[in-house]
Structure 1
Amino acid sequence: MADRIFADRGRAHEAAYSAEQHAQFNTVARRNRMLANWAAELLGREGEQAYISEVMASHFIEAGDADLTGKLMEDFTAAGVEMDEKTIHAKMSEFLLAATQSTDPA
């Protein structure tokens, strides 16, 4: 009886953790889409789904945000758009907050 209770409790914790991770992944994906749209607009590539997908995919190269920041810095430099990492990180924070708020059940 006690084993079953602990097993049920363990499954419930695993399910809650999985749901939390899924929600976090979706929030970061929304943030990245907003960031990609912002960058596309500055680069004159607004509405180019291929570019937006390329930016979003760059986030999966390595852990953290360095790969995404690097991709955007390369693109801005290649296009002759003045940009710094501080501005990109500020936009990431802004968009993360917006993405988080857009998923709040309240």
Structure 2
Amino acid sequence: MTTFDDRQRGFENKFALDQDQEFKAGARRNRLLGEWAAGLMGLEGDRVAEYAKAVVKSDFELPGDEDVLRKVFEDLKGSGVNTSEGDVRMKMDELLAQAREAIKSGN
């Protein structure tokens, strides 16, 4: 093994770790977003957890965050909650930052 091979393996391992952490942060963000939206829609008890799980699952429909945004925004609008796509997108950004920090700190 050369130093170059060791260095390359180190970069590959870091990349894999970063991707894993980003996936976990995205899933956590989606759960938190679902809980937030459920609160706005007046859901309680087990229905909050069920809705949050549905939001997490919606992320696997299309690449990117548009499927999650579309689901949450449409559900909020359908429940009579007065919000905009921009509001939901800002909440997604806020919760992603929180999720990344929690993953980084090991929580």
TM-score range for the pair, normalised by the shorter chain length:
0.7 to 0.9
Query: Which deviates further from its counterpart, 88-97 or 43-52?
Result: 43-52
Q: Aligned AA for 1:41?
A: G
The aligned counterpart of 1:104 is 104
Larger Rg: 1
Q: Where does 1:1-106 land on structure 2 (aligned, <5 Å)?
A: 4-5=1-2, 6-47=4-45, 48=47, 49-105=49-105
Q: Aligned AA for 1:101?
A: E
The TM-score, its normalising length taken from structure 2, stands at 0.84
CA distance in 2, matches of 1:98, 1:43: 22
The TM-score, its normalising length taken from structure 1, stands at 0.85
How many residue pairs end up in the alignment? 103
Gaps of at least 5 residues in structure 2 are none
- CA deviations on 1:46-85 (whole Å, 9 max, x unpaired) are 3422211111111121111111111012211221222210
* Structure 1 residue 101: Cα displacement: 2.1
Alpha carbon RMSD of aligned pairs, Å? 1.8
User: Percent same amino acid among aligned pairs?
Assistant: 37
Q: Aligned AA for 2:32?
A: M
